[in-house]
Amino acid sequence: MTSRLNVPDLCFAVFLVALGALAFALSGQLSIGSAAAMGPGYVPRGLSAIVMIYGLALGIRAIFSGRQSFPEIALRPILLTSAAVALFAVMLPLVGLAITSFAVVICSGFAAYDVRLRENAVVALILSAFGVLLFVKALGLPIPIWWR
């Protein structure tokens, strides 16, 4: 029976409880101290407990607050944009900015539904050259252009 479930609210509540629990566990080793002389753990533990309780309250309300299904997610833009960012993180230390920029632009270009192959390749070439000239040559940022 999902007739009364508010799915987006419930997902958000689960996220809050999980995050609160994680923060509570991670700050478990820290000393709490007293209200007059707080240790490093006082505020993190207090705040993560509040987040958990707040999440629980939102979750209980979401179960009874009327049906709402999770909004549709357009997967293609999200997956390909994420992939482009991941590519940047993996490739940059290996092959330098020039090739990485090209790959990132090609990959993220496909996130748009109306991508055109030739146009995307040209844009990638221009942006790659522009990025190297502007950021490395003109602004002097310490980014490797090629592999080392």
Partner 1 sequence: MDLFANLATGFAVALTPANLGFCLLGALIGTLVGVLPGIAPITTIAILLPFTFTLPPASSLIMLAGIFYGAQYGGSTTAILVNVPGESSAIVTCLDGHQMAKQGRAGPALAIAAIASFVAGTLATVVIATASVPMTWLALKFNAPEYFSLMVLGLTGAVVLAHGAPEKAVAMVLVGLLLGLVGIDVNSGAPRMTMDLAGLADGIGFVPIAIGMFGIAELAVTLGKPQDRSLLTVKFSNLWPTRADIRACVPSILRGTAIGSILGVLPGGGAALSSFAAYALEKKVSSTPERFGRGAIEGVAAPEAANNAGAQTSFIPLLTLGIPGNAIMALMVGALMIQGIQPGPQVMISQPQLFWGVIASMWLGNLMLVVLNLPLVGLWVSLLRVPYRIMFPAIVLFCCIGTYTVSNTVFDIWTMLLFGILGVFFYKVGAEPAPFVLGFVLGPLMEENFRRAMYLSRGNPWVFFDFIERPISAGLLLCAAALLVILVLPAVRSKREEVFQEE
Length of the chain as a residue count: 148
Dihedral sign of CA atoms 101, 104, 108, 109 in order: positive
Least Å from the CB of residue 67 to partner 1? 15
Contacts with partner 1 in 96-125 (CB under 8 A)?
97, 101, 104-106, 108-109, 111-116, 119-120, 123-124
* C-alpha to C-alpha distance for 61 and 49, rounded to whole angstroms: 19
Least Å from the CB of residue 5 to partner 1? 13
Our CB check for partner 1 shows the closer of 3 and 130 to be 130
Q: Is 97 exposed, middle or buried (0-12, 13-18, 19+ CB in 10 A)?
A: buried
Contacts with partner 1 in 50-89 (CB under 8 A)?
50-51, 54-55, 58, 70-71, 73-74, 77-78, 81-82, 84-86, 88-89
